[in-house]
Amino acid sequence: MGFHTFPVERADDLEDITRFRFVSRGELVGHLGADPDATVADLGSGTGFYTDELAPFFGTVYAVDVQAAMGAYYRSKGLPGNVRPVTAAVESLPVPDGALDGAVSTMTFHEFATESTLTEVRRTLAPEARFVVADWSAAGTGERGPPTEERFGVSEARSLCEAADFDVQFAQTRPETFLLVAAPA
Ligand SMILES: C[S@@+](CC[C@H](N)C(=O)[O-])C[C@H]1O[C@@H](n2cnc3c(N)ncnc32)[C@H](O)[C@@H]1O
C-alpha cells in the first residue's frame, strides 16, 4: 500500500512489551516452524523487537529494514549472535533465489505490500518455506497503529499474496490485527 514508513524518532515506541497482545512469539515461531539449521528473515525489522524473539529458534536471522537508522538502533540495543542486520528494501532483497527457509513481517505489510514486492519475497523463499504476516487490520478500530484507511483487510492481503503466487494456508482476523501464513505455490 506504501503509506508512510514508521519514523525513527518514534523507535522507542516499538520497544513495548504490551505489543505481544497483538502477536506473540509463539505464533510467529509456531507458524514458521522452529529449526536451528534454518535461515529466516524479519522483513521491516525496525528495532528488532520481534527479531529478538525469533533468534533463539533459528540458525540465522536476517533483520531487514530500509532505514539504516533502525539497524543502528538495533545494534546499539545489542544483537543476538545469530542476527545479521541488513539495510535493504523488501522491493529488492539482497538474497539469492530460494535462500530463505522462512520470512516474517510484523506490523509492516501495509508499508510495502504490492504484487511486485510480494513476488520479490516469494523469489527468496525455499519451496517449503512459510511467510508469516501479522499486521494491523482494516477491520480494527484504530485504537493502536496506523489509521484504518492505511491498512489492509485480511481478504485483500490474501488476494495480494495469491497474485504473487503464494498459497495462503492460514488467514485470521483478530482484534486490531490479522495473521496470515502463506507458502510458495
Ligand atoms: C511499524 S515498524 C515495525 C517494526 C517491527 N517489525 C516491529 O514490529 O517492531 C515498520 C518498519 O518497517 C520498515 N519498512 C517499511 N517499509 C519497508 C520496506 N519497503 N522495506 C524494508 N523495510 C521497510 C520501516 O523502516 C520500519 O522500521
pLDDT higher than threshold 70 for residue 102: yes
Split at pLDDT 50, 70, 90, the class of 3 is: low
**CATH number, domain containing residue 134:** 3.40.50.150
Give domain status of residue 22, yes or no. Answer: yes
Q: Tell me, what's the pLDDT at 2?
A: 55
pLDDT higher than threshold 90 for residue 149: yes
What residue's CA is closest to ligand 1, atom 14?
Answer: 44
Share of the chain above pLDDT 90, in %: 96
Average pLDDT rounded to a whole number, residues 63-89: 98
Split at pLDDT 50, 70, 90, the class of 5 is: confident
Per-residue HEC secondary structure of the chain comes to CCCCCCCHHHHHHHCCHHHHHCCCHHHHHHHHCCEEEEEEEEECCCCCCCHHHHHHHEEEEEEEECCHHHHHHHHHHCCCCCEEEEECCCCCCCCCCCCEEEEEEECCHHHHCCHHHHHHHHHHEEEEEEEEEEEEECCCCCCCCCCHHHCECHHHHHHHHHHCCEEEEEEEEECCEEEEEEEEC
Expressed in angstroms and rounded, the spacing between residue 23 Cα and the centre of ligand 1 is 16
Average pLDDT of the chain is: 96
Number of domains in the chain: 1
Give domain status of residue 28, yes or no. Answer: yes
Give domain status of residue 26, yes or no. Answer: yes
Split at pLDDT 50, 70, 90, the class of 16 is: very high
Q: Which domain holds residue 119?
A: 8-184
Ligand 1: atom nearest CA of 42 is: 6
Average pLDDT rounded to a whole number, residues 96-120: 98
Give domain status of residue 71, yes or no. Answer: yes
Which of 27, 65, 87, 150 for a ligand 1 pocket mutation test, highest count of atoms within 8 Å of Cβ? 65
Split at pLDDT 50, 70, 90, the class of 141 is: very high
pLDDT higher than threshold 90 for residue 1: no
Q: Tell me, what's the pLDDT at 49?
A: 98
Share of the chain above pLDDT 70, in %: 98
